Structure 1
Amino acid sequence: DLGRASVRRDEADELFYVAGIGDDVHGVTLLLRGSTDHVVDALERGVQDALDVVASPVADGRVLAGGGAIEVALASRLRNYADSVSGREQLAVEAYA
């Protein structure tokens, strides 16, 4: 739920303007430009494919953390553990975090 908005199109510049209505509006506008209509169409397909890839598993609730999630979690735990270690050993633990 992104809230409410009004959309206005400027035919001369071929632009869309999106203005939020209310205090709880959250949204994103992507402006895709290219040298030809073919390039813009390819960009639009690529963005739509990327959004579909993300939206489908999130909507289903079937998301598997990846892309370095394990490494990020491990580094966070090592940083927390380093606080409990004293002396030069702490520097060694922090170096791996």
Structure 2
Amino acid sequence: MSVFPEIIRHIPQRDYGIEGLTVRVDHTSTGTVYFVSAEKEVHFPEHAHAEQWTIVVSGKCLLTMDGATRTYQQGDTYVIPGNKKHQITLCAGYAEVDYVDDPCDGEA
């Protein structure tokens, strides 16, 4: 069962080709909103993008920036500055909501 309510499950999914990862994406006129959940551990390699604000809905993740790794859990928030290289690992049972300051984030 999804941690997100039915209203969120109507938002289109983006396929990252990673089993157990569900990402729903909604573009606004000013940014992109992501609803992310991981049924199993997911490791995203180092990458960068526009500024991002995240709130952890459930579970925990490990975020690495500038060589330091921090753990974030349910209720925690964090900001990733724009164009800052970072790496993140989502633990099984993790869910988050992200806002990325780019209305076309992730679109080719």
Bigger relative CO (Cα 8 Å, ≥ 6 apart): 2
Q: TM-score, normalised by structure 1?
A: 0.25
Q: Which has the larger radius of gyration?
A: 1
Structure in which a larger fraction of residues adopt strand: 2
Bigger helix fraction: 1
TM-score by length of 2: 0.23
